[in-house]
Amino acid sequence: MSYGISHTEVFESVWYVVDAVNASFNINYPRNHDERKKIAAEFKAVSAVEFDVCAGAIDGILIWILKPPLEDAEAVGVDQMKFMCGRKHKYGLNCQAVCDVRGRFLDMSIICGGASSDLVAFEGSDLKKLLDDGILAHNLCLFGDNAYINSQYMATPYPNTSGGARDNYNYCHSQLRRRIECAFGMFVQRWGMLRTAIPCNVTVPKTISLVLALAKLHNYCIDEAEVIPANLLSQDEQNITGNRNGSVPLVADPLIAEIINVNTTTPRDLMGGGEHFDDAPRHYRRPLHNDALRSRLCNHVESTFKTRPRRREP
């Protein structure tokens, strides 16, 4: 006990704060068309070819947890291995998020364990249902990677390209898509506990509530232009790397710096775990025949004569 306050009282206070934040702030994808057009206009301002259709960048990140007790797994209706992300060799939750150009989260969904693919986690989200119901105008879409299926509301890269118009489109597409990776980098840097495993005495529902609260505070900090003092980052780093359950580093990504001219670090060990189709039903894997949106974007890039820059030799 320090300052006359017990550890139990401190932890109880944390959950009071989490509940208060979740009751006071929301993260819901904008229902208003003018708001979505404003998001697309902000993406257009940073696009080398002035793509004006991107109403958010989407990707998944692993929320690292220790192996949940059997009773906790049964309480949410799955077995313990549903939380094991085979690609990252960590237990966790698949967190799907959409961000704007500044890295604010526009939508967040945590409904699947770490074993789930990004595609299945996205398919089960409320946002997917809204998109199927036509929440986006025909000239707007999300930008995602090839963990998702290209459709009328999801623009993904062309697979297996090497030069040519499609590769140039992929480069211009990545300028906007990789903003979500930058958002994840800011998110876990601001809340360093996400670089370590959430203890097993924190239940899965409480973990979800905690992450959503942190995401809402992340948005608030961006809105208020809050900057983390360097001395606090240094102290935080010592606490994180000294965690007995281990930690993941923040890694500088030169490709992001090259593509979007932003120096940032990302938690690579928590990203990309859902980029598989192991659990996806066959009908999910079949691309939709309507490729009109991506074809139009590719033709637009070709009309601007924009090409992927050649990599500089070291």
Where on the phi/psi map is residue 4: left (φ > 0), alpha (ψ -120 to 50), or beta? left
Determine the average pLDDT of the residues in 252-271. Answer: 82
Mean pLDDT is lowest, of 117-126, 182-191, 251-260, for: 251-260
Report the pLDDT value the prediction gives residue 50, as an integer from 0 to 100: 97
Give the tens place of pLDDT for each residue, 59-102: 999 999 999 999 888 888 889 999 999 999 999 999 999 999 99
What's the rounded Cα separation, in Å, for the pair 91 and 48?
Answer: 39
DSSP 271: B
- 11-55 pLDDT per residue, tens: 778 899 999 999 999 999 999 999 999 999 999 999 999 999 999
Handedness of CA 12, 267, 85, 174 (dihedral sign): positive
Name the more confident of 9 and 62: 62
Q: Tokens standing for 46?
A: 């940073």
Q: Taking the CB of residue 78, how many other CB atoms lie within 10 A of it?
A: 16
C-beta separation of 148 from 120 below 8 A: no
Are the CB atoms for 266 and 181 separated by under 8 Å? yes
Cα angle 151-153-155, degrees, rounded to a multiple of 5: 65
Tell me the C-alpha to C-alpha distance, in Å, between residue 214 and each of 22, 169, 199, 218, 240: 9, 34, 16, 6, 17
What average pLDDT does the chain have?
90
What's the CA gap between 47 and 68, in Å, rounded?
43
For residue 2, what pLDDT is reported? 57
- Residue 287 confidence (pLDDT): 56
Dump pLDDT digits (tens) for 269-308: 999 999 999 998 877 665 555 688 999 999 999 999 999 9
- Residue pair 309/148 in contact by the 8 Å Cβ criterion: no
pLDDT at 202 > cutoff 60: yes
* Whether pLDDT at 267 is above 60: yes
pLDDT of residue 170: 96
**DSSP state string for 273-288:** TT---TT--HHHHSPP
CB 179 within 8 A of CB 260: yes
Q: Are strands 141-143 and 154-155 parallel, antiparallel or unpaired?
A: parallel
For 127-185, write each residue's pLDDT tens digit. 999 999 999 987 899 999 999 999 999 999 999 988 899 999 999 999 999 999 999 99
CA 208 to chain centre: 15
